Structure 1
Amino acid sequence: MLSYDELTSPERELWDAFPQGRRVDLRTGVPEDDCVTEGGQWDSARTVRAAVIVALLLGARAVQPGTVAGLRLAGARISGRLNLAGAQITYVLWLEDCWFEESVDLLGASTQTLVITGSWVPGIEADSACVEGNLDLRRSVVESLTSSPFNHVSTALSLSDARVTGGMFLNGARINAPGGWAIAAGGLVMEGGVFCQGGFVARGQIRLMEAQLPRGLHMRGARLECPGPRGVALSLDHAVASTLNLSDGFIADGTVRLRGAQVSDKATFEGAVLNGPSDGDGPALLGMLMQAVDFDFTLARPPSGTVDLRAAQVSYLHDNEHSWPDVVELDGFVYGSIKKVQSGERREATGRRESAASRVAWIRRSPGYSPQPYEQLANWYRTIGHDDDARRVLLAKQRHRRRSLSLSARLWGHLLDVTVGYGYRSWLAGVWLLVLTLLGTVSFGTHSPNPAQPGEGAPFQPLVYTLDLLIPIGGLGQRTAWYWTEGSLQWLAYLLIAFGWVLTTAVIAGVTRTLQKN
């Protein structure tokens, strides 16, 4: 137990101020002398031992009834290790513009609002801690520990399985763990919002897997740097959040992982830059199985890596000309609406021909062939009443599928494409019927056929005879009344009958679709 006589002058001042929660300010007021990065040079007049802070927080100083005690200290050099692991702290700890000689240990601790702002700290260990209030690290610089007792990876801020009843404020902070974990917070339960804005910079991976963020993660304008091959800048795998705001100049040098994340409101990347891993071997965004109501992917420039949205589900998708890289994984991606952002205006992507073509090109960025992206896009076009564009998409699907078939199947596919557009361009059938009608009329008109029953039936009419061959339903009385002895014309008749079945069926199907639509 520390005695009052053993305390230095600044420690006595802190000791005396604690019962009333008064702030002790050791700053000189000269910016050059108060720079926390030079805190290691501060003399004994500005030095407070970590053991004194621990003693005060654990009840070494009596507190008078009717006062609100608290530890408030500014501009101090804190020597030794601030070890509060497992402690039950009932007072507010408020440290501003301080320099820490060693890391802060809050492993398993329970504390009130914790404020360490504008300070330099060589690591904060707060796994399984419970903060009844806010965790405020604004403008602080937190450097990496050599390792964490659980993961043996260099970590700057460790909050795995921690619980904070308020919010976490990292605005303007710099969290540095190059090659390691800037923030390790898997399983974090944050009842308030997480705010990493106002110049926030993280060097190293931010890990928030399975975190519970009911008030959202806000990283507007933040910069995340995780250089190196296959580096992951931000990992939110299976996290649950109300909002993900990665917008307005947000930059990620490394993969942003949202695998299995659930966002109950909006996930926005408006104006963001996703550079992906530095070696280009990996996705800029990995959003497999992600779920969001509103997904705004209107980036400032195209991502440097791939975008993987396989099996993701969103209600509203917003994109622009910068949203998609050369490779986009879309198999299983489900959306309810697409809105195109152009010149700052958000409009629903209409069913114009050029729009459908651009959307098909978007699907074609996905490697290999998968029918689901085409079916999903066609279904959306049908939902907004653009059946023609839906048929264009489904025709593009058949043409893409054809590439994966055998030679014979590809040849048959080309024939179906040219004649009836796989059934999605029924007007082609009408063109072919007209061409074949002209061909038959001219060919049959230059020769005389033989009557099936001489002296009976109507006279031979080349046009009517040709139509009788092409129309498989009913009959005009010409096909059964006349026959050919010349082989070439007989084979032409057979050919017209075969084409008639295919083309007439296509025309009827097209007319039926039109009537059903109307």
Structure 2
Amino acid sequence: MLSYDELTPPERELWDAFPNGRRVELRAGMPEADEPAAGGQWGPERSVRAAVVKALLLGANDQRSGAVAALRLAGARITGRLDLSGAEICHTFSLEGCRLEQAMSLHGATTRTIRITNSLVPGISAELVRIEGDLDLRRSVLEGGPLILINARVAGNLHLADARISGPEVAVRASGLVMEGGFFGARLITQGGLRLPGAQLPRGLLLQGARLENPGGVALAAGHVATSTVDCSHGFTAQGVVRLRRARIEDLLTFEGAHLDGDGTALVCTGMQVGDFDFRPAAPPSGAVDLRFAQVAWCRDSERGWPEQVRLEGFTYGSIGFGETTSAEDGAAGEGGMPEGDRTPAEDEVARRLAWIRRNPGYAPQPYEQLAGWYRQIGHDNDARRVLLAKQRHRHRTLHPAGRVWGHLLDTTVGYGYRPWLAGLWLIALALLGTLVFGTHDPTPVKPGEGTPFQSFVYTLDLLIPIGGLGQRTDWYWTDTGPQWLAYVLIAAGWVLTTAVVAGVTRTLNKN
């Protein structure tokens, strides 16, 4: 039990100020000398024992009517360990520009707002804490130990703007964190991962300009998080993997202007549910982006923002669009070898989207079907057919040699059923060829003096149409080798065209 007589002068000043909530200022007024990093040199005139702070917070001197007791201390060195585990604290607790010599514990405590700003702390352990207010650590440095908020409950906000936190592997452990406010971490710097699996953050996870450093590991783990917004923009940097597996984000997930430097896989968003997804990083991530089975209402992206590998199986979206335009001077040739500057905007959009889908490793039909479905939804049926044609071409490249040959035949003749007019062009070309060749040669009648007169055009059509007949093919034959072989070729071409049309149309109707 502390007695007033054994308190040092700064401790007595704090003791006397506590009942009125008055701030005790111990700073010297010289910026360099007042930096918490230099606090190891502060003498007794700026030192307060942790036991005194604890005694006041537990109500040792709050007996004064007409005032609200609060502990407000600036520029002090807190000696000893501040252990408030299991405590019930009914007073606001504020430290500014202070230096704590040992890690602080709030394990299982119940408290009001805690502010430790612009201070140096060797770690804060606050598992199961209940804070009826805010936890404010702005501009503070947690060095040598992490910030632990596992299964904590915070009625207000968590403020970590401009803070620096380092831990052996994990800088912030906050799995199961439940808040009524938001996580505000603009320009936060961590050495070690930021772990928030299963956290509930109604007002958002805001990490604009933050830098999370955990090379070779996980920079941000926010799987199963439930929040309104995840803002990783304005220079946000993750050295390590960002994991948002099965996250539920009601409004916005943005990586605009971000840097994602994960090994192997830079961003994991499998199974997440998002309102608006803005993926326009400052540069392509160093690793793959995994969007498998994610659900997005609106996706806005940058063509140049995607890495070489994007896993898209099961990725669904209500709408999608590039956030920038590509100029004709880029000089890249798109599908079919057509320079992008020579295409219409719609053709350019489709070609760029198909290039995006091809970043998915291997062949998967769902990304093509999803894109085609979206084009149909907005009334761009021609673009949808173009996407489905690209799907068939991709699929047939994965087949055995015989399947690839048949695929090339379907593509050339009817475009896998999505370009049936190609069969008409082939029919016209072959009909003209046959008419010209047969018109310059004299056939031999099967039965002299009988049958219909020879007509080269009708005869050619009779060869090309495999079913039925026009009466010419059975009445005439050729003794010359050239016309005879051309007749055989036209008969075979007729069967091939008919088979290809039937197969292509059937495939289209079945939406394969």
Q: Is this a same-fold pair by TM over 0.5?
A: yes
**What one-letter code is carried by the residue in structure 1 that aligns with 2:120?**
W
The Cα of 1:474 is off from its aligned counterpart by 6.7
CA distance, structure 1, for counterparts of residue 233 and residue 6 of structure 2 = 52
Change (3 A) 1:501 1:405: same
Q: 242, 245, 269: which one pairs with 1:287?
A: 269
Give the corresponding residue for 2:415: 421
Mapping of residues 79-478 of structure 1, within 5 Å: 79-145=79-145, 156-177=146-167, 179-197=168-186, 199-227=187-215, 229=216, 231-277=217-263, 282-342=264-324, 352-445=346-439, 446-451=441-446, 457-471=451-465, 476-478=470-472
The answer as to whether partners of 1:103 and 1:122 remain within 8 angstroms in 2 is: yes
| Residue 331 of structure 2: aligned partner | none
Q: Which moved more, 1:238-247 or 1:53-62?
A: 53-62
Give the 3-state SS of the residue equivalent to 2:386 in structure 1.
helix
- Residue 61 of structure 1 corresponds to 61
CA distance in 1, matches of 2:431, 2:500: 12
Provide, for residues 53-93 of structure 1, a one-character-per-residue CA deviation record: whole Å limited to 9, x for no partner: 11111122242233211111111000001000011111110
Match for 2:488 among 479, 487, 491?
491
Instruction: Indicate the larger mover: 362-371 or 472-481.
Output: 472-481
Deviation of the 1:115 alpha carbon: 0.4
**What is residue 152 of structure 1 aligned with on the other side?**
none
Deviation at 1:404, TM superposition (A): 1.8
Aligned partner of 1:450: which letter?
A: P
Whole-Å separation in 2 of the counterparts to 1:499 and 1:435: 15
CA deviation after TM superposition for structure 1 residue 137, in Å:
0.3
Segment of structure 1 superposing worse, 124-133 or 439-448? 439-448
Contact 1:450 1:485 in 2 (8 A): no
User: What is the aligned partner in structure 2 of residue 151 from structure 1?
Assistant: none
Contact 1:471 1:500 in 2 (8 A): no
- Over 3 Å counting, the alpha-carbon distance change for 1:27 and 1:12 in structure 2 is same
Alignment partners' CA distance in 2, 1:338 and 1:351: 15
In structure 1, distance between residues paired with 2:458 and 2:271: 60
Greater displacement, 79-88 / 55-64: 55-64
CA RMSD of aligned residues (A): 2.4
SS at match of 1:289: coil
1:2 maps to 2
Which segments of 5 or more consecutive residues in structure 2 lack a partner in the other structure? 327-343
**Partner of 1:241: helix, strand, or coil?**
strand
Moved more, 161-170 or 486-495: 486-495
Distance 2:88 2:279 in 1: 44
- What's the CA shift for 1:175? 0.8
Please report the TM-score for the alignment, with normalisation by the length of structure 2.
0.90
Contact map agreement 2:423 2:497 (CA 8 A) in 1: no
Identity %: 58
The alpha-carbon distance between structure 1 residues 364 and 114, as it changes in their structure 2 partners (threshold 3 A), is same
Q: Is the 8 A contact 1:144 1:182 kept in 2?
A: no
Q: How many aligned residue pairs are there?
A: 489
User: Which whole-Å CA distance do the structure 2 matches of 1:246 and 1:361 have between them?
Assistant: 26
Q: Which amino acid aligns with 1:216?
A: G
In 1: Cα distance, 2:14 partner to 2:499 partner: 94
The range that moved more, 67-76 or 437-446, is 437-446
- Counterpart secondary structure, 1:499: helix
